[in-house]
Structure 1
Amino acid sequence: MSQSHAISIFDPLRLGDRSRIMQAIFVVAGTLVLAVASRISVPMIPVPITMQTFALTMIGALYGWRLGGLTVLVWLGEAALGMPVLANGAGGLAPFMGPTAGYLVSFPIVAMVAGWLAEKGWTGERYISSFAAHLLANLVCLAIGGAWLAVLLGAEKGWMFGVAPFILGGVLKSALAAAVLMGIRNYGGRKTAH
């Protein structure tokens, strides 16, 4: 491909060029970021508003869909083993069976959607596309989480408690994620493939 047709790839962490050991270190670091983001919350019923989805979409965009999804699965595995890494320091199997189960199931998908779209160019200097990618990933989370709540509580309560209160937060977190990624891109996080 000629220089004029070069494709700009957003890969500020250069994870594709790193060894498996370094990738594993990034996975562990990502689980720590997710655990910290889970502690930043506004209590609500039936589930709190946290920075989890912000961290999920950022990990997807920065790590790529494969490593991002794997990172989230490892984090959920830590939670299932009882580590207090979920919202409000929750861990164990109970969150995977209660009202939060649908959201937890959606989390790897959220990271993979954001990562896949980022790999397709929906990030970096393309603010509107980046915002749309993060918002779409957040809507996937709300759709799956809300559907599970609808099974438990009925469709109206599922919408009222599991989707509607989180839409504005999803929009704001998507805007923040797109702005942060644009800043990373402008700071020099670009790699060009020929």
Structure 2
Amino acid sequence: MKPPISVRSNGVRLLMVAAGVAILALSSRAQVPMEPVPFTLQTLAVLLSGMLFGWRLGLLIVIAWLAAGAAGLPVFAGGLGGWQRFLGPTGGYLGAFPVAAAAAGWLVERGWNGRRPVHACAAALIGHAVCLLPGTLWLSTFVGRNEAVANGLLPFIPGAILKSVAAVAVLMLVGRRK
């Protein structure tokens, strides 16, 4: 099955990657400052990259965004950039983002889409779990297991549920336009 937004032209794909990187950068700016991990809209944008464009293009978008951040562009939370972000407390979340985009996109391509909202929500929740679990494990090496769960996992579960519902709404809207 095709993703909701199917692109054949390489030129259009390149534009989609650039637009996806810009949207991810903007989603990083929408944040609620928390320590040691801020609450942002990054996971919504990451998951929608895969869910809307398919697992391959979604993966490419997220990798391009991470590469821009690693190169020092201010595309991460708080307008930060630099490869050091991958070695800090949020590195596990960043490293999991490509896998989350690919997993959610892969599920959508297999029918877990806007025509099946419960399945699409499950795909988004799985994508969030793919982000939160390795992120929390990595964070635990900095702050300990209990604090990582208390501050790097549990506060993000309600947001993951809300962002999953939002992702389904977007999928349903895009599906209606076809």
Matched residue, 2:86: 96
Larger radius of gyration: 1
Q: Verify: 1:13 aligned to 2:13, yes or no.
A: no
Q: Verify: 1:145 aligned to 2:135, yes or no.
A: yes
TM-score (norm 2): 0.96
Map Cα deviations across residues 83-131 of structure 1 (whole Å, 9 max, x no partner).
Answer: 0001110101221111010000001011001110010110121100000
- What is the aligned-residue identity percentage? 46
Matched residue, 1:179: 169
Q: Verify: 1:31 aligned to 2:24, yes or no.
A: no
- Paired letter, 1:11: P
Task: Tell me the matched-pair count.
Answer: 178
Contact residue 124 and residue 178 of structure 1 kept, 8 A? yes
What is the CA distance between 1:12 and its match in structure 2?
A: 3.5
5+ long unaligned stretches in structure 1: 1-8, 189-194
Contact residue 55 and residue 101 of structure 2 kept, 8 A? yes
What is the CA distance between 1:10 and its match in structure 2?
A: 5.0
Matched residue, 1:78: 68
RMSD (Å), alpha carbons? 1.1
What is the CA distance between 1:13 and its match in structure 2?
A: 2.3
- Paired letter, 1:82: G
2:153 aligns with one of 163, 177, 182: 163
Deviating above 4 A after TM superposition, structure 1's stretches of 4 or more consecutive aligned residues are none
5+ long unaligned stretches in structure 2: none
TM-score (norm 1): 0.89
What is the CA distance between 1:76 and its match in structure 2?
A: 0.4
Q: Distance in 2 between matches of 1:93 and 1:26?
A: 24
Q: Distance in 2 between matches of 1:71 and 1:12?
A: 16
- Larger RCO (alpha carbons 8 Å, 6+ apart): 1
